[in-house]
Amino acid sequence: MLTMNNVSKRYTHRRSDVYALHDANVEIGTGEFLSIVGPSGSGKSTLLLMLGGMLSPTSGQVTLHGTSLYDLSPNERAKMRKQHVGFVFQGFNLVPYLTALENVMIPLFLTNAAQETQESRATELLQRVGLGDRLDHKPAELSIGQQQRVALARMLANDPQLILADEPTGNLDPETSSIVLAFFEQFISEGRTIVMVTHDPRAAERARRKLRIDGGRIIEDAGIKARIVA
């Protein structure tokens, strides 16, 4: 469903050019749970952003469902992202002055659905992550683990087939991390695909396939790959 062909990203610095990613080739099948590991500065975030249509490669192609993402106009690419991709960040990126319900409704504002439909959908999503009794809480009134679950509910709002996660357990204690990882297992069993950048060995262990990056190069690609479904 997602491929990178000979993808490089070069940043031009004053003294020299840096390849954040060098000639990456990856094929990710529907239903895969893939982790990306490697030292800080090795190119993990660069890879994730390019997979999500958020950062243009210097050369090479990224395709999602057979569509070359960076041959699309920025508007078309944004539309593709909204239809297929959900993001989870380490810092949750919740809006502090909005309630949990309103935060989850953000992606739904852009749909034409009636206000009540948006509200009931957001309520269901918060119930799904165990926060049905926290709809009107603002992020600061929730524990860190609860904030991450609000972020998961918001990520699910557009029913993404592809979930991209950057250090999703990075701010969480072991107990809360395992709750988030259990949700990831559920998302996989629903047929979604997850690509997760992580420093957390326990999180990396849960993924079936592990990609190791060092110095902008993929140096290891191990584990179970799903049958590739374009």
Which of 130, 145, 170, 223 is the binder for ligand ADP (CB under 6 A)?
145
Q: What is the DSSP string of 14-58?
A: SS-EEEEEEEEEEEE-TT-EEEEE--TTSSHHHHHHHHTTSS--S
Which of 43, 53, 86, 168 is the binder for ligand ADP (CB under 6 A)?
43
Cβ(139)–Cβ(96) below 8 Å: yes
Would you report the helix, strand and coil content of the chain in percent, each value rounded to 5? Answer: 35, 30, 35
* Binding of residue 41 to ligand ADP (CB under 6 A): yes
Adjacent-strand bridge partners of 43: none
* Binding of residue 73 to ligand ADP (CB under 6 A): no
Q: Which stretch binds ligand ADP (CB under 6 A): 42-50, 77-85, 117-125, 183-191?
A: 42-50
- End-to-end alpha-carbon separation of the chain, Å? 5
Cβ(94)–Cβ(164) below 8 Å: no
# binding residues, ligand ADP (CB under 6 A):
18
Which of 31, 34, 37, 44 is the binder for ligand ADP (CB under 6 A)?
44
Which of 5, 8, 45, 56 is the binder for ligand ADP (CB under 6 A)?
45
Residues lying near ligand ADP in the complex (CB under 6 A) are found at 11, 18, 20, 38, 40-46, 134, 137, 141-143, 145-146
